[in-house]
Structure 1
Amino acid sequence: MKKLLFIAVFFLGWQSYAQENIDDLLASGVNDARRFTQSYLDPATEGIVYNLNNGWFNSGKAKKLFGFEISIVANASFVKDENKSFVLDVNDYENLRFQDGSTSREVSTAFGDIEGITVVAEGPLPGAVDDAVFELPTGLGSADINFVPSAFIQGSIGLIKGTELKARYFPKVETDDVNAGLFGFGIQHEITSWLPADKLFPVAISGLIAYTNLDGTYDFTSTSIVSGQDQRLENSTSTWLFQLIGSTKLPVFNVYGGIGYINGKSETDLKGTFNVQSGVLGNQTLVDPFSIENKVTGVRGTVGVRLKLGFFRINADYTLAEYDNVSLALSFGFR
């Protein structure tokens, strides 16, 4: 397992998948491998898109000119049972078949824990001498990981009247096999700051637009049981958040919330050279076999509380969405 949780879902799922099954799925053909990978990874990439949109705000009140806040934010998005499996119908595949003759079965996604499902990819030779027989991969459920985590540093500063600029960052992680990092930026504008009686109005209302990007590469050349070179997985996930925010304006304890819309995209590329030994592509070499893309849109609702203690703030919120989320932040700053 990788040591940093925010990349655990994506890269741990693929570490298991790449080490145990990538050669087998390629044996059934590039189209079959791409189709299965799309269904297997879609819940994980969707979970990442939803997760990356959390933690952007803790108040509808914009900071005054040059007021600032620096926060450490942690998120956990929860995986529903419906996202842990999908139905594999062999009629949708060119060469993949269940060993027991079934037409369709429920199989694991990257979040699931379904083991022992054996499939066959038939080779071009008569009989079964070059068939590939293997088990489909399980998911992170086998390691009791049932949530999508993230953590980052976030800062905000007040600019012109009612406007606040935000940025978030997680430094690039570079190890022997993982290279990943996160950044984002956003702008929040307080609509109520333009009201004649702003100081008497008990609620602050703002609009927020924010962008987050996660880029990563996982190199599994040394662990793959398929011979080849420079075998790696590259992913780029980007997402936009459009949020309406409201909050109380009390000195110490406040309640905040909002309704938002997300629009995200995740692109995943399987790169490198793969020498396939059996199945329909037996004794063939593949270079950069395939790419997959997942587009995600959805609405969300957030409610949270914020406590101010001098220069320090603590806030926590819960978001209802396709992947419900809990966010917790510890902040330092002044308005």
Structure 2
Amino acid sequence: MKFHQEESLLRRMLHTQILMRKYQIQIIFICSLFFSLKSNAQSQSELEQIGYLLNDALFYSEQYIIPATDAAVYLSSSSWVSSPKKKKLWDLNMSLHGNMFFVPNNDRSFRVQNSDFQFFELENASSATVPTALGNDNQMYLIGDLGGEQVRLKTPEGINQEIVFYPYLQVNVGLLYGTELIARYSTKTKLKKGDYQVYGFGLNHNISQYFKSLEEKKINISTALIYSKEEITFDFLDIDTAYGNLGINKLSGLVDTFHFQLSASKEFERLEVITSLIANISSFEYVVGGKKGEIEEAFPLQQTVNTLLQRIAKDNVNFLGEISARYQIEKIFLQSSFAFGKFANLNIGVQYQF
């Protein structure tokens, strides 16, 4: 049994090494193709070094941004269902929310060492702890040599925030048969060294309307299906070389999420207490952007890197719990929600019932 486990582990390690080598060869081949069209004097060694530089950038981008895109799912998941109570036809509720995401300590940094890189190495160090996009503003220098000229850059900073806050507007409209349309939109929220935006829509359907005993006890149950789009962007690697700036100084995570939510509540006169179970299925993509560098005159680097970034695209499933309290004052509702799972998220909203 132990032998088979070791054999399986070795196979996975070998498969990973083969994939890494495959992308390295792909990068070097693309670089060779484009630069050979521009200059016959370009040495094979320099072309290989450019390939290694890009491979290091891809390695770093994966470690740097994935914790932030995982967190983005939680940022967008809270307080979609203001109440599972059945809405009347054309009931309109508009609300302004403030969302607070608590950045966990274990997702703020990662460890790198010189053996992780093929082109770069850490300046005056063999290993270091550097921030992820959710981390602090500590920076290290990476150095390399390309065509006899030093390439030196700072590692990207994190947002350096304990709490990520963003406001958004939400509209709920009652439809037929106890169904409710939900729409959410936030403008781009400025983070330190980045931006965040979310928007989406969904349907919430009341189930307790089919059970008179639940309605009599003022117990409400609903199920919701929601789609949201999140985009989170950070300042990334500003790399100057003998061929000009590489133009990969922005790195974005694009997240498409489907939320499945089951909610139940109990009414106590003006107060409603709500509990929810949420399941998310998210698709993640990553792209570099920003102002294109001078190197684009000879080589479509942004396009190439974005093609290669597809290898770290992934799908994730998350499960969250949420507890919420909603208090009515005439046509105004005050609501606070707390979502928890891998991360923790607090949401406070003010709603107006038209």
TM-score normalised according to structure 1 size: 0.75
SS at match of 1:61: coil
1:188 aligns with 2:207: no
Query: Of 141, 153, 160, which aligns to 1:134?
Result: 153
Higher relative contact order, chain-length normalized (CA < 8 Å, sep 6+): 1
TM-score normalised according to structure 2 size: 0.71
Q: Counterparts of 2:60 and 2:321 in 1: how far apart (Å)? A: 32
1:332 aligns with 2:352: yes
Match runs of 1:1-335 below 5 Å: 29-102=53-126, 104-113=127-136, 115-123=138-146, 125=147, 129-141=148-160, 145-170=161-186, 182-215=198-231, 227=245, 236-271=254-289, 273-275=292-294, 286-291=301-306, 292=309, 293=313, 295-333=315-353
Q: Counterparts of 1:58 and 1:68 in 2: how far apart (Å)? A: 12
CA 1:284–1:67 in 2, change beyond 3 Å: closer, same or farther?
closer
SS at match of 1:51: helix
Deviation (angstroms), 1:301: 0.8
Amino acid in structure 1 at the alignment position of 2:261: Q
Deviation (angstroms), 1:120: 2.4
CA 1:262–1:171 in 2, change beyond 3 Å: closer, same or farther?
same
Give the fraction of aligned pairs with identical amino acids, expressed as a percent.
Answer: 23
Gapped runs of 5+ residues in structure 1? 1-25, 277-282
Q: Counterparts of 1:288 and 1:163 in 2: how far apart (Å)? A: 44
Q: Counterparts of 1:313 and 1:109 in 2: how far apart (Å)? A: 38
Judge conservation of contact 2:248–2:288 (CA < 8 Å) in 1.
Answer: no
Q: Counterparts of 1:91 and 1:229 in 2: how far apart (Å)? A: 25
Equivalence for 1:13: none
Judge conservation of contact 2:69–2:232 (CA < 8 Å) in 1.
Answer: no
Judge conservation of contact 1:67–1:158 (CA < 8 Å) in 2.
Answer: yes
Q: Counterparts of 2:253 and 2:125 in 1: how far apart (Å)? A: 35
- Deviations 1:138-180 (Å, cap 9, x if unpaired)? 3121xxx22333322111122222321111123579xxxx998
Judge conservation of contact 1:270–1:289 (CA < 8 Å) in 2.
Answer: no
Q: Counterparts of 1:90 and 1:79 in 2: how far apart (Å)? A: 28
Deviation (angstroms), 1:242: 1.0
How large is the Cα RMSD of the aligned pairs? 3.4
CA 1:326–1:37 in 2, change beyond 3 Å: closer, same or farther?
same
Larger Rg: 2
CA 1:180–1:134 in 2, change beyond 3 Å: closer, same or farther?
closer
Q: Counterparts of 2:245 and 2:152 in 1: how far apart (Å)? A: 18
Gapped runs of 5+ residues in structure 2? 1-49
Which piece of structure 1 moves more, 154-163 or 31-40?
A: 154-163
CA 1:105–1:215 in 2, change beyond 3 Å: closer, same or farther?
closer
Amino acid in structure 2 at the alignment position of 1:290: V
